[in-house]
Amino acid sequence: MATNDLKLLGCWSSAFSLRVQIALDLKGVDYEVIEETFNPKSELLLKSNPVHKKIPVLIHADKPICESAIIVEYIDEVWTHAPPILPQNAYDQANARFWVAYIDDKWFSAFKGILMAEENDEEKEAEFKEAEEVFERMEEVMNKGSEGKAFFGGDTIGFIDIGFGCYLSWIRVLEKMNARKLIDENKHPGLIRWTENFAAHPAVNGLIPDTDKLLEVAKGYKERSRAAAN
């Protein structure tokens, strides 16, 4: 496929853009990444996603597809020459979608709360507890669903791996900012092994953003949030 037939409108620091890139790399397709400018938002973004005006947007033969989880499913359905991302069994598909939706709801909410909270904010601890509950759940899912294999999807990266793994670099950022482990070797041995396998996979290795660079992005988010509140 020619590069100009497939474009990803995203951002290097976006976990949701990373989802799409991992899926495309798993399928081995050729694509072009277009970095969104945000301030102001580009005409291409406003045209491609007029409803939410957010990244990522996959543009396939001039047709836009929005929302990261939906894009990953689209990629899986269109490029069938490579191993599937979603399970083949209908029940397992539903289960995978459930856990990705759970991650986007519970973890992303806790992540934003921790990131934006001030140092002595009482709500911050509540957000940490919410995050810890998520990781406990995902440890259970990993131990039960993987059947001792490397990934949530078994021997290869699947829908849950992509849905959760895209946040890996941001998890490291929160750990560094707060000097506090979220994925702990004693509490989450299954997740520790999984993070190592996930980061080393050829479709992922080299895509995960540098923690220190993301840390600067996180600081910028906080500064803008404070300025908007004043």
Evaluate if residue 77 carries a pLDDT over 70: yes
The number of C-alpha atoms within 13 Å of 39 and in the hemisphere containing its C-beta is: 1
CATH 1.20.1050.10 in the chain is located at 90-221
Residue 52 burial by CB count (10 A; 0-12/13-18/19+): exposed, middle or buried? exposed
* Per-residue pLDDT reduced to its tens digit, 7-56: 999 999 999 999 999 999 999 999 999 999 888 999 999 999 999 999 99
Residue pLDDT, tens place only, 165-201: 999 999 999 999 999 999 999 999 999 999 999 999 9
| Residue 179 confidence (pLDDT) | 93
Residue 128 confidence (pLDDT):
94
Which of 2.60.40.10, 1.20.1050.10, 3.30.70.20, 3.40.50.460 would CATH assign to domain 90-221?
Answer: 1.20.1050.10
- Cβ atoms of 164 and 138 closer than 8 Å: yes
Distance CA 82, CA 85 (A): 9
| Position with higher pLDDT, 228 vs 25 | 25
Q: Are residues 214 and 169 in contact, defined by beta-carbon separation less than 8 angstroms? A: yes
E strand or H helix that includes residue 123: helix 122-145
Q: Supply the DSSP symbol for 32.
A: E
- Which CATH superfamily does the domain covering 6-78 fall into? Glutaredoxin (3.40.30.10)
Residues of the chain with CATH 3.40.30.10: 6-78
- Output the pTM of the full model: 0.93
pLDDT of residue 230: 62
pLDDT at position 6, please? Answer: 97
